[in-house]
Amino acid sequence: MPSFSAILKKLFGTKSDRDLKAIMPYVDKINDIYTRFDQLGNDELRAETERLKSLIRERIAESSKEKANLREKLRDTEIEVSEKEAIATAIDKLTKEIDQQIEEVLLRHSEVGTNYLITLTTTEAGDILTVEAELDELSSDNILILEELRRTITRELHDEILITPRLVFVQKGSLPQGEGKAVRVRDLRNA
């Protein structure tokens, strides 16, 4: 007569079987992405990158120019405090729009999870934008694919927001979460 654990294994499978079943969709996704990239030649990759850059540039050019103009006005020492406050509010609104554009770029890549963190810091050379993006499970196996993904997303972000961010991939679950919602922006410029 079979043991109780043997019956459970027959009904539910072993831990290894369940783990493999949970992992296989990610393995299939990675293999599909690899196949797609592997089939493209250098010229095709360049053409696709240029097409995406053009679309993104058109989409955000106005917001980025407006933000740069507002920052320049903010430096004027002759304007009233209320006007400076209105300009700062407009800059904040544009920054949120740009953050949304960053999210849209990241979410176009299935290898990247849905949680990311934008950190703004200041050095003597100026402001630095760092984007930390969590990778979906099993996405970190192939270093070459990850590096190409990092370069692609960095280029797309630069084309989208006209700033070259420092993009860092981190392990899934390692970024802070607020009350039920991911923390998206950490501004340490005035800290």
DSSP 50-102: HHHHHHHHHHHHHHHHHHHHHHHHHT-TTS-HHHHHHHHHHHHHHHHHHHHHH
Q: Confirm if 153 and 165 have CB atoms less than 8 A apart.
A: no
- The mean pLDDT value for 71-87 works out to 81
Length of the chain: 191
C-alpha 18/C-alpha 12 separation (Å) is 8
38: pLDDT strictly greater than 80: no
pLDDT band (50, 70, 90) for residue 8:
low
Domain ranges of the chain: 11-59+110-187
95: pLDDT strictly greater than 70: yes
C-alpha 103/C-alpha 161 separation (Å) is 11
What would the two tokens of residue 27 be?
Answer: 């393995």
Per CATH, is 11-59+110-187 categorized as 3.30.300.30?
yes
